[in-house]
Structure 1
Amino acid sequence: MGKKTQSCVLLLLCLSGLVHCSAAFVLWTAIVEISYERNNETVDKYCECGVFGREASLMKAEGIVTLPKGDPRGCGPDPGYNRNSSSPPWIALVKRGNCTFSEKINAAKGAAGVVIYNVDGSGNSTTPMVHSDAPNIVAIMIGNILGKELAKLVKNGTDVVMFIEVGSPHGPWTDTYWLYFLSIAFFIVTAASIAYFVFISANRLYNLGMHRRNEKKLKSEAKRAIRRLQVRTLKRGDEETNFDTHMCAVCIDAYKAGDVVTVLTCDHIFHKACIEPWLLEKRTCPMCKCDILSALGVEEEVKESIPVESPPEVTVITVAGGETMYEVPLSDPGSSGPERQQHRYDNRAFEGDSEAARG
């Protein structure tokens, strides 16, 4: 059962490791909403077409779309933006390429968020961004077509307001085959756990039932033994009633004339009403622990077989008579074979010294 427990624990650890590794590959989409004025009309567009960076903050952001003054890729320590403060909120729109994502994000200081659009010829496709040197900021990637459209509007002097919201997760957890695998693994672990606990419970119930049956048989044997015990009624003048020192060891009351007592095989007496319940449970004398079943020759049909280990041998030195010898086993008592030998020592020399000392 110990090996089964270890197997279940290892399987759970493996599954937790798979969950932890898979969580690192989960990507969150970004919902992008833009709003601007054209010919005195408000144009609103809405799409779930962005992807958050791996180290980005998963939170909402909004602001006026702002381009770098020079290089549209926003590289360099100071690419220059028309808005250097965070009020009113603004969102930097830069093109992918020439430098790392972290450099682009760090260059847009004060922005409520950074939107990076993909390279030319990539359509509206996006790729995951890794920007470990610029964490904890709203940073998303959008497709090239949408990015060029927004850049063109801003260059023409149109104020474009962008709203960014957190979309849905995508990754191994959302893959159909991965979900099937997880479902099967979860079912296997659950079934193994249930089977293990059912086995443990059944084993305990079986052992409990065996114990109860053995106790029932032992009580039956004890009843047979109790019926064979001597029962008598105390009378005035009996030794047990003459001294207060004689008392029942079960109820600690002194014996009185008229008390019905039971005499055990060890000659200890007790009140009949006190000793019978005790014998049914213990089957031994409360004072000397004498087993009434063995003393009366009553053998129970079924007893729990409990292996009893014999105590280790103990060296015993016996001194007796004129030809006294010490018999001392020098080897390990637990060893066997020719190495286990006993040596005898003559004790007469010690006796002579003792007599000389006594004068």
Structure 2
Amino acid sequence: MVLPRGVGLALLLAALGCPRAAWPLVWYSAWVSTVYTEPGTNRTVRSSAESGLYGDASPKQSVQGLVGIPRGGAPGRMEGCAPDVEYEVPAPPARSAGAPFPAWIALVARGGCSLQHKIGHAVRRRAAAVVVYNEPRFGNTTLPASHLGTSHTVVIMVAHPKGMEILEPVQRGIPVKMAISVGRQHKQEFISGQSAAFVAIALITMMIISLAWLIFFYIQRFLHTRSQFGNQRDRKETVKAIGQLQLHIVNRKDKGLDVDAENCAICIENFQPKDTVRVLPCKHVFHRHCIDPWLLDHRTCPMCKLDIIKALGYWIFKRASF
């Protein structure tokens, strides 16, 4: 059975502090039983299901009778909204002449006018109860509809498929006997004010945490981007500075450099004639292809840890001043 659509909305409105009196706290389902006989085969067709919902103002009691529909049975006239609407109630052929007409129940479609008007028109035609079936254009759900001023009439609502199931044999002129009985009671407890406050605080806390995380994320992203930009700029400056270091082609006549005894501290190989070397400000000598990548990554002498950029800047300034 489909739960009333209004219940979820009532729960939301209650959480937002709307008055409870505007929404039902209790509703009742209805058992709907039908029986008829197929004229061609004499087969008895029975159906029984807890498929209806009593209206808010409806008496919660049982009722039974033959099913009647607005005269003509056309889709546009099934709503029973015309003030002069007449009902067709197929009656059993065995009814004796002059016998009082048995109780009957009006079957009408939802829409076209207010529920109060539908009920009023049917009651004036002596209907014992009114069954309203939903239309797919309204969402095809059942709900405990409001119908003030008609509290003496049993009113239930059924879904569209159930309405079509009842309507089909009646439109063929077959008497359909319907019995409506009270089903289960359903209760909806609203969220208390304390619970609503707790939910609101939890949502606000989650929003604050999410906002703080976003701020932290974008700050880190900004710092990372700035750091990368700074590193690229420093690397360019380092490349320029390394280009200012002294290059030297090794030969055996170099004073102060014993090519047979001296070696590169990075690759641990002796300097050979015609090797290209760099001389750092600290006077340590290395192969060019060994020391350049090292300086790009570390900016210090591999042997004495001298900051080459600082020393080179002072050194270049001193050379430029002479």
Give the alignment's TM-score, normalised by structure 2. Answer: 0.45
TM-score w.r.t. length of structure 1: 0.41
